Amino acid sequence: MQRKSIACFGLVGVLAFGLAACSSSSSSSSSSTTTTFPATTTTAPSTASLDGLPSLASCQNSVKGETHTPGTLTVATDNPVYTPWFVNNTPSNGQGYESAVAYAVAADLGFPHQKVTWTTESFDQSYAPGPKNFDFDINEISVTPARSAVVSFSTSYYDTTQSIVALKSNPIARNHSPAQLKTYLYGDQIGTTGLAYIESKIQPTQQPRIYNTLDQAVSALETKQIDAIVVDTPDGQYAATSQVKNGVQVGQFPPNGEHYGLLFQKGSPLVSCTDAALANLTQNGTLAKLTKQYLGIYTSIPTIQP
């Protein structure tokens, strides 16, 4: 995951997703519209296990006493949060891919939406070692070996790819064969999977410039100090269309196994039941439906080779 500290602009996502823009406020904003929650299943849970995981029926009987606050599921994410993952900087409204996924998981675990509480946790702090004041964090956090050493992750709820964002006037927008990609000057935020992809896959002849924030990398791109940045594909589409003036998403790289997982305190007893919920949501088509609804536009982005 690239840390998405990019600002929101205007009616971002209306054309792409039919959704209202995200707020640029650094605090949670309230919506004047009626809250709409994703459809949840209230029928009796299946007693069958999925892929060797515990059954949802047994999970619903056990997890309520294992949560951070008994009887309530506490979900963390960053502030602010952005479209298409959330809408109007309001995780609790059930809109946006990650908000909808969180509520779908909660429903499978036996928590109706009124029993889901949201709390704020910064992206970088989420995978720091130590106790957590939440049950899981959902914030486009890519699963990596280093992070997995100090926190626990669920199975994937979204498989992502990396993509290049540049100015339309830069030669990389037209000339991006594998050999040509090595000749450009890249920049990225420190510690991101985008920077790791530049160094391990593209392997440019010029040392990438490293910035403390993604905003700084974007500013360097806009002022032509660098040729391109590499970011997660959904965030790259947003940056190219809504943040970088005259920006373009050159293309996305082939899948390399990178995926987002729900993040837990190391050794959390909730992981196996959450994996069971995600397996069920995969099997019954819920994740595919939400992916198409909120992230379907990314399937049209051309694939390029590193």
Q: What is the pTM of this model?
A: 0.76
Q: Are residues 135 and 244 in the same domain?
A: no
- Tens digit of each residue's pLDDT (9 = 90 or more) over 176-227: 999 999 999 999 988 888 999 999 999 999 999 999 888 899 999 999 999 9
- Tens digit of each residue's pLDDT (9 = 90 or more) over 133-178: 999 999 999 999 999 999 999 999 999 999 999 999 999 999 999 9
Per-residue confidence band for 82, with pLDDT thresholds at 50, 70 and 90: confident
Question: In this predicted structure, what is the pLDDT of residue 50?
Answer: 61
- Tens digit of each residue's pLDDT (9 = 90 or more) over 217-251: 999 999 999 999 999 998 888 888 888 989 999 99
| Amino acid at site 84 | P
Cis peptide bond prior to 38, omega within 30° of 0 = no
Q: Are residues 213 and 265 in the same domain?
A: no
Q: Are residues 216 and 168 in the same domain?
A: yes
Question: In this predicted structure, what is the pLDDT of residue 133?
Answer: 97
Q: What contacts 235, CB < 8 A, 6 or more positions away?
A: 2, 4, 6, 140
Q: Are residues 21 and 147 in the same domain?
A: yes
Q: Are residues 196 and 289 in the same domain?
A: no
Specify if 36 maps to a domain. no
Q: Are residues 148 and 124 in the same domain?
A: yes
Specify if 91 maps to a domain. yes
Lowest-pLDDT choice from 1-5, 60-64, 231-235, 247-251: 1-5
DSSP notation for 62-114: HGGGTSSBTTBEEEEE-SS--TTTSSTT-GGG--SHHHHHHHHHHHHTT--GG
Q: Are residues 76 and 115 in the same domain?
A: yes
Q: Are residues 145 and 270 in the same domain?
A: yes
Give the total number of structural domains in the chain: 2
Radius of gyration, CA atoms only, the chain? 19
Beta bridge partners of 164: 230, 251
Q: Are residues 151 and 229 in the same domain?
A: no
Average pLDDT over residues 120-128: 92
> Which domain does 169 fall in, by range?
162-252
Q: Are residues 239 and 292 in the same domain?
A: no
The more confident residue out of 26 and 257 is 257
Of 252, 267, 287, the last residue of a domain is: 252
Backbone phi, then psi, for 203, in 5-degree steps? Answer: 50, 65
Lowest-pLDDT choice from 51-55, 170-174, 247-251, 289-293: 51-55
Residue 216: CATH number of its domain? 3.40.190.10
Q: Is the pLDDT of residue 81 over 80?
A: yes
Specify if 8 maps to a domain. no
Question: In this predicted structure, what is the pLDDT of residue 301?
Answer: 84
